[in-house]
Amino acid sequence: MPFGLLGKSPAVVTVLPLNGVIGPAARFGQGLNLAGLASAIESAFSEHGVKAVALSINSPGGSPVQATLIHNRIRQLAEEKNVPVFAFAEDVAASGGYMLACAGDQIFADESSIVGSIGVVSAGFGFTELMKKVGVDRRVYTSGEKKSMLDPFQPVDEEDVKRLMVLQKEVHGAFRGLVKTRREGKLHGAEKRLFSGEFWSGIQAEKLGLIDGLSDLRTEMRKRYGDDVRLKVISSERSWWRNRMAAHSSGGRRGAGGGFSFPNGWADDMLAALEVRAFWSRFGL
């Protein structure tokens, strides 16, 4: 008997995992970036008979540029293919991770999810006192007056800090504009609080209108598309062989898949791991 006569085939919802720090792979190991996700995003919207795309998000943020690029590509395809997008925050969808969530027509989270942190942060270290103690002399030669701006091996220049603050304000403004556009008519509370960089639990995020409800991906998709809905996970992971080749071509640094590094890249790996750890630890994770 032909399959069609047995009953209606189950709806297909593609699931796009967005897990990790947002940024170049060479910097964060398995960083989320458009180059690494482009194929998976295309596949999520091109699956035969797809009824919706579900974003499974677990990210503390990172590069605002890469977050914007990923967000914009998802929205472009959603409108081009006329396919709804649902975003689901897992442990955390904060900062750039929340920007990714805004690519969803609706956003859901767990009661204990960390959501928000709509702001911009720059962090680093200063080594001037350490250099004095160990007797190291810093020598920098530039052909531009501000080429060595914010050099961690030189004393803080207040004028440089002011310039950085102007830059951060502009990036923050773009982030606010995106959230206000995507959550138009849904946000509650003063903008000063919503865009302060503060983050909240899923319960508080719902009250503030940052999310549309408390739910998980499987439960919500079954409620909307039936108990027999087929959830198809679209993977963006690359093979071990391609990861090894990427590492080799980058001069021994960790490849885009984060699975291989040559001995000479151990220092890069360690620093990348510490930076990734710092992103997650901001949210108690």
User: Which residue reads 């974003």 in tokens?
Assistant: 55
Q: What distance in Å separates the CA atoms of residue 65 and residue 69, rounded to the nearest whole number?
A: 6
> Residue 94 in 3-state DSSP?
strand
- Angle at 235 (CA atoms; ends 44, 119), nearest 5 degrees: 80
Tens-place pLDDT, residues 26-83: 555 567 999 999 999 999 999 999 999 999 999 999 889 999 999 999 999 999 999 9
Calpha distance 21→57 (Å, rounded): 11
Q: Does the predicted TM-score (pTM) go above 0.85?
A: no
| 236-243 mean pLDDT | 48
- pLDDT interval class at 23 (50, 70, 90): confident
What are the structural domains of the chain?
Answer: 3-117+198-281 (3.90.226.10), 121-182 (no CATH)
**Structural contact between residues 114 and 59, judged by C-beta atoms closer than 8 angstroms:** no
In sequence order, which ranges of the chain are alpha helices (DSSP H)?
A: 25-28, 34-46, 64-81, 96-101, 128-134, 158-182, 191-194, 202-208, 217-225, 240-249, 266-281
Write the pLDDT tens digit of every residue in 120-147.
655 555 556 666 676 666 666 666 565 5
Report the Cα 235 to chain-centroid distance in Å. 16
